[in-house]
Amino acid sequence: MTALTLSCLPHTWLIDIDGTVFLHNGHKTGPDQLLPGVKEFWDTIPPDDCIILLSARMGSEAAQTEQALRTYGLRYDRIIYDLPKGERILVNDNKPGGLVTAHSVSLERDAGLAGVALRLSNEL
């Protein structure tokens, strides 16, 4: 189990689509298939948080992708398509008071989010 302990401040989530939310490349052979634990994890994300989805899917696949997200009830603020297939790197500065402001979770492809738990701390 991977546990993310985060402050009570609003967060920005950067979440890959294929292999994390939906079965990797499943949309190429049929409807997108939600991976285990994704909906349950999504429901723990605080409502004031910003969710930005990332994908190497082509922009021409946007309508299909966004319909699948609506079907499964997964909210998001933005989707960035046409990204390279390589690593995703997050660079951020820590707060002067010591709050670490960058976290990363790397999952096995198609494992879903069932093994990730979100905990909110009262600390800033």
Region 24-39: what's the mean pLDDT? Answer: 96
CATH at 97: 3.40.50
* Counted domains in the chain: 1
Q: Where does the pLDDT of residue 124 fall: very low under 50, low under 70, confident under 90, or very high at 90 and above?
A: low
Ramachandran assignment for 112, one of left (phi > 0), alpha (psi -120 to 50 degrees), beta (any other): left
Q: For residue 81, is pLDDT > 90?
A: yes
Q: What is the pLDDT of residue 27?
A: 93
What is the residue range of 52's domain? Answer: 2-120
Quote the CA–CA distance of 122 and 89 in Å, as a whole number.
Answer: 28
Q: Where does the pLDDT of residue 17 fall: very low under 50, low under 70, confident under 90, or very high at 90 and above?
A: very high
Region 6-30: what's the mean pLDDT? Answer: 96
* pTM assigned to the model: 0.93
Q: What is the pLDDT of residue 122?
A: 82
